[in-house]
Structure 1
């Protein structure tokens, strides 16, 4: 990162304000982090409203989760963030929060469908759902391990979302894109019909994704279904 640490601290606080303003983090929900070096991560503290943080509220930790600095205790969910950093050295920031429309899918155990909106195909791709685990421990962090390096956003069953990227702004964008998409899906299902793009058109979007310099789509890197959750929106179908 070319930004100095003071600027990174301010960026984290700004993203915290956005998360709070959009209703993605009630009370003291959510946490944000940014990698400062190979061994040091800057993160939000525990038990603080993300809409009212100041730069000196933030903490630093090492990759084992040991707190190195900060006047407040680090977030109890830091291990979720560290799982991403250890699994993908290219990631520079992680955002975890509870965007309500995406969390509706998380509590319904409804897979996020693909092949519907261009922006989602280009900027997100498949959004997997991790199994539920009690927050704050190593088992919780391990639930996302299979998806690091394959996705940039994960839905946490019965809990929330976690997204990551090369900057704190981009990590947040992934969350915002997902929640807007989930809101559209919920509204479309209320209308009663969800139409999908053809496989040909989805592949055109994946070509565009590559042209934009986005990370290669998991469906092309690892194989798998191009259209995920194809039955979403069918009136006679209920989630498993």
Structure 2
């Protein structure tokens, strides 16, 4: 396990990367890392993530009380603590404003197209949590409904949140999210995304399962029309499917046809 000083060094390094990649501007964004079930290192308020030093970081408990350090915690600490309360598997949380992903959040467009293997494997679809006033319980409440099935969430008119088993995992998901958003935007400007087929996506889900990638994933719901089959495949590989046989299809078509004829029947 990393020493606490190494954890603080890593937080400063990730803050620097976020700033250099324009994921944050001025004093935006915040980072937390779990030490144990009741202690977390957090970035302070009012400090650029590109210019932090380990002595600026603060340790807080699950109630948000400062245990070590002289700086004040970020106003978004409530959002981070909600993640740790509801996701014991999470070891770090990153909040930033990557421009393209935030643009999708502002436009109200979720990233739910399956277009890139990396995004499918590590993120799946990325939902948009309803807008909440910063520093209030509205933001934690908004993300709560998505935490059990997603490691990346867009925050409406605000930014993005990613979580991971450790700090670098959480941060790399933020990089993947922004790259996914950039490619999606460019593809739309070129005429629209061409999504991977259900079979292709399911193979990628098998890869995720094979390598036992940690974290939560929304799974994949796709239809295979050539097999007259609709599948809902979970991350654990289980699926629910409903096969439509020939007789059922004929019955459905007959009922619909009769209804249309009745509707347009001339008296």
Equivalent in the alignment of 2:113: 114
Q: Does 67-76 or 4-13 show the bigger shift? A: 67-76
Mark the CA change 1:85 to 1:148 in structure 2 (over 3 Å): closer, same or farther. same
Q: What are the within-5 Å matches in structure 2 for residues 28-177 of structure 1?
A: 28-177=27-176
**How much has 1:34 moved relative to structure 2?**
0.2
Mark the CA change 1:96 to 1:206 in structure 2 (over 3 Å): closer, same or farther. same
**How much has 1:216 moved relative to structure 2?**
5.7
Distance 1:123 1:7 in 2: 26
**How much has 1:180 moved relative to structure 2?**
0.7
Distance 2:216 2:137 in 1: 29
Q: Which runs of 4+ in 1 moved over 2 A?
A: 215-219, 221-224
Larger CA Rg, structure 1 vs 2: 2
Q: Which runs of 5+ in 2 are unaligned?
A: 220-233, 241-267
**How much has 1:223 moved relative to structure 2?**
8.0
TM-score by length of 2: 0.81
The answer (yes or no) to whether the contact 1:107–1:157 under 8 Å persists in 2 is yes
SS in 2 for 1:134: coil
Distance 2:185 2:192 in 1: 11
The answer (yes or no) to whether the contact 2:114–2:125 under 8 Å persists in 1 is no
The answer (yes or no) to whether the contact 1:210–1:216 under 8 Å persists in 2 is no
Q: Does 213-222 or 27-36 show the bigger shift? A: 213-222
Distance 2:159 2:186 in 1: 20
**How much has 1:191 moved relative to structure 2?**
1.0
**How much has 1:138 moved relative to structure 2?**
1.5
C-alpha deviations, 1:150-202, integer Å up to 9, x for none? 11110000000010101111100000001011111111111113111110110
Q: Does 81-90 or 61-70 show the bigger shift? A: 61-70
Equivalent in the alignment of 1:230: none
Question: What is the RMSD of the two structures over their aligned residues, measured on CA atoms?
Answer: 1.5
Equivalent in the alignment of 1:211: 210
Q: Does 153-162 or 132-141 show the bigger shift? A: 132-141
SS in 2 for 1:169: helix
Distance 1:63 1:223 in 2: 37
TM-score by length of 1: 0.90
**How much has 1:69 moved relative to structure 2?**
1.7
SS in 1 for 2:93: strand
**How much has 1:218 moved relative to structure 2?**
2.2
Distance 1:42 1:179 in 2: 25
Q: Which runs of 5+ in 1 are unaligned?
A: 225-240
**How much has 1:114 moved relative to structure 2?**
2.8
C-alpha deviations, 1:113-168, integer Å up to 9, x for none? 23210000111112111000101111221111111121111000000001010111
Q: How many corresponding residue pairs?
A: 223
| Greater fraction of residues in strand | 2
Higher relative contact order (CA closer than 8 Å, sequence separation 6+): 1
